[in-house]
Copies of this chain bind each other. A is one copy, B any other.
Amino acid sequence: MPSEYGGADERYRFKIQILQRYRFGLSCICTAHPGRNCDGVAMPTDSDRLLYERIAQRIAQDLDSDIYRPGERLPGVRKLAGQYGVSIATVLEACRRLEDGGRLKARPRSGFFVLRTPRIRAREPAISNPPRMPSPVSGQDMALQLAKAANDPAMIGLGAAVPHARFMPMHAVERALARSVRERGQAAANYAFPPGEPALRRQIARRMAALGCAVAPEEIVITTGCHEALRLALKAVTRPGDTVAIESPTFYGLLQVIDSLGLKALEIPTHPRDGISLEALDFALDQWPVAACIVTPNFSNPLGSLMDETRKRALVRLLAARGIALIEDDVYGELHHRGERPGICLAHDTQGATVLHCASVSKTLSPGLRVGWIVPGRHLPAIEFQKYLLNLATPTVPQMAVAELLEHGNYDRHLRQARKDYAEAVERMRREVERLFPDGTRVTQPEGGFVLWVEFPAGIDGEVLYRTALTEGISIAPGPIFSATRKYRNCIRLNCAIPWDARVERALARLGQMAQLQLAAQA
């Protein structure tokens, strides 16, 4: 059997099949029933693909015309199969497609239910399909340019994932900063040498406990943002030349750190809803010597995917069994749009030997504070010293201010509001993308965070769009910088955390026009 991985022997054949399935966008495949899904139903073959696409479209039309209303149960798959004259497997796959698209929700042993989401024209992107081998990082030179655009007040900032001040409790931050200097005297003037300000570490430890992690304050090291935490973590568990497994697409800051530490990136297929493909990761770890795996299990950037707790546990076990470090980036973990705060991988690391957990308040309180942290487990002494080497200490007063905000409830109160605001902002942006961007555009439907990943129809070039938009004062993030190998050329990422006004709406309309023009130029 031919394989993109080259030289794969007999025992990998089944895994390759699974991987290929994954590329078709199937969301739930266990490895126990080759050729069948978890319910034991036979999986559709390649020749079925066009068929279930058509069935999915017909069901979607029924949903659009209100034949089935939000909250109602769809007829059983057997019944629908009869109705459309196709196999059960085909109907099942069509329903899964609609589930991926956010139109339906499967409930175990009850069937598919119609979701209460607004009418959705744009589908979600399929699982990603990056190259199957480690690669050095290339073409990251435009990332700093992109970041700088975020600092230009004249620019409409849809590029960098930087929340506008309106999403931040700036008044509370101001008071906390002033009070910290006033009340903490010498301590506020002094360096907060690693591991950092004790009051802040105590507050973080309390929040970790609420997530099921018994972490002592002295096991936490404060960093200048989550980015620095990730850098320290990577440096602690790799040596130059090593390979690091990452989600694909992933945020460009991470790719740059990988590059600057002399590492190679192995991009793993990642589903816009479920996150990194464990099956593909498992396969890749068999093929390549991987030193560490970096994952953003909660609302990854740019896809916004969310791994459920089962998958988080499976990820930790998979890596623990192979002795590979898992660097967990939880910077978006508190920005779920509804329901409970999702858990973290660290809670599943019962041996305490696998996970290095990183987070910050950059997406919740203010990125300008640059307060992040790492729970490095057994790497604590090394991380503490490396942090000291980088810049001696993270600024003191911001740490004290964050500690105060965490302690006195302002933080949680603010978070409740911020979550609502982000959910609305993302939803609004998504609707506008559907309305204004060319037909066939796909867009993610994240359940947290504040970015959208837009996949244009083939032929639209995200980098050309980026450069054209920049000349009109609109900043977006082009797809290729989210890949070590410059994939995702027809993609862009949009930051939704900006105050919505006519200017932003016009900017989106212009982006849509620019994309249409690209298509027209090709036709």
A-side interface residues toward B, CB under 8 Å?
141, 143-144, 147-148, 150-151, 153, 160, 162-166, 168, 170, 173-175, 177-178, 181-182, 185-194, 223-225, 227-228, 231, 253, 256-257, 260, 366-371, 384-386, 388-398
Query: What is the chain B residue whose CB lies nearest that of A186?
Result: B165
Pair B148/A162 contact, Cβ less than 8 Å: no
Pair B231/A389 contact, Cβ less than 8 Å: yes
Given contacts A181-B173, A191-B151, contact A368 B385 (CB under 8 A): no
Given contacts A388-B144, A389-B260, contact A189 B177 (CB under 8 A): no
Pair A178/B188 contact, Cβ less than 8 Å: no
Residues of B contacting A393 in the complex (Cβ-Cβ under 8 angstroms): 225, 367-368, 370
Residues of B contacting A231 in the complex (Cβ-Cβ under 8 angstroms): 389-391
Pair A151/B368 contact, Cβ less than 8 Å: no
Q: Indicate which residue in B150, B166, B173, B193 contacts A191 across the interface (CB closer than 8 Å).
A: B150
Q: Indicate which residue in B173, B388, B395 contacts A370 across the interface (CB closer than 8 Å).
A: B395
Q: Indicate which residue in B153, B181, B189, B370 contacts A187 across the interface (CB closer than 8 Å).
A: B153
Query: What is the chain B residue whose CB lies nearest that of A197?
Result: B151
- Chain A, interface SS category: helix
Min distance, Cβ A478 to any Cβ of chain B, angstroms: 17
Distance of A163 Cα from B409 Cα, bound (Å)? 34
Query: What is the chain B residue whose CB lies nearest that of A227?
Result: B392
Residues of B contacting A150 in the complex (Cβ-Cβ under 8 angstroms): 190-191, 193
Residues of B contacting A227 in the complex (Cβ-Cβ under 8 angstroms): 391-392
Q: Which 5 A-B pairs have the closest CB atoms?
A: A368-B396, A174-B181, A165-B189, A178-B178, A228-B391
Residues of B contacting A223 in the complex (Cβ-Cβ under 8 angstroms): 391
Distance of A388 Cα from B162 Cα, bound (Å)? 15
Residues of B contacting A185 in the complex (Cβ-Cβ under 8 angstroms): 165, 170
Pair A188/B170 contact, Cβ less than 8 Å: yes
Q: Indicate which residue in B175, B367, B397 contacts A189 across the interface (CB closer than 8 Å).
A: B367
Report how many copies the assembly holds: 2
Pair B193/A148 contact, Cβ less than 8 Å: yes
Query: What is the chain B residue whose CB lies nearest that of A147?
Result: B193
Residues of B contacting A369 in the complex (Cβ-Cβ under 8 angstroms): 395-397
**14 extra interface residue pairs, beta carbon distance < 8 Å, beyond A165-B186, A168-B189, A225-B393:** A151-B192, A151-B193, A160-B191, A163-B189, A170-B181, A170-B188, A173-B181, A177-B178, A188-B366, A189-B366, A368-B393, A370-B391, A370-B396, A397-B398
Query: What is the chain B residue whose CB lies nearest that of A394?
Result: B370
Min distance, Cβ A218 to any Cβ of chain B, angstroms: 11
Pair A193/B368 contact, Cβ less than 8 Å: no
Min distance, Cβ A437 to any Cβ of chain B, angstroms: 27
Min distance, Cβ A403 to any Cβ of chain B, angstroms: 14
Distance of A337 Cα from B160 Cα, bound (Å)? 46
Pair A384/B192 contact, Cβ less than 8 Å: no
Query: What is the chain B residue whose CB lies nearest that of A257?
Result: B389
Min distance, Cβ A224 to any Cβ of chain B, angstroms: 4
Residues of B contacting A396 in the complex (Cβ-Cβ under 8 angstroms): 368-370
Pair B151/A190 contact, Cβ less than 8 Å: yes
Pair A165/B144 contact, Cβ less than 8 Å: no
Distance of A227 Cα from B193 Cα, bound (Å)? 13
Question: In the complex, which of the residues A147, A181, A385 has the most CB atoms of chain B within 10 Å of its own CB atom?
Answer: A181
Given contacts A186-B153, A385-B144, contact A368 B395 (CB under 8 A): yes
Distance of A225 Cα from B190 Cα, bound (Å)? 13
Pair B389/A368 contact, Cβ less than 8 Å: no
Pair B370/A144 contact, Cβ less than 8 Å: no
Residues of B contacting A194 in the complex (Cβ-Cβ under 8 angstroms): 144, 147-148
Residues of B contacting A384 in the complex (Cβ-Cβ under 8 angstroms): 144
Residues of B contacting A368 in the complex (Cβ-Cβ under 8 angstroms): 188-192, 393, 395-397
Residues of B contacting A174 in the complex (Cβ-Cβ under 8 angstroms): 178, 181-182
Pair A390/B193 contact, Cβ less than 8 Å: no
Query: What is the chain B residue whose CB lies nearest that of A259?
Result: B389
Report 21 cross-chain contacts, Cβ distance below 8 Å, ordered by A residue.
Answer: A147-B191, A147-B193, A148-B193, A151-B193, A153-B187, A162-B191, A165-B189, A166-B186, A170-B185, A170-B188, A173-B181, A174-B181, A174-B182, A188-B366, A192-B368, A227-B391, A368-B393, A369-B396, A369-B397, A371-B395, A398-B398
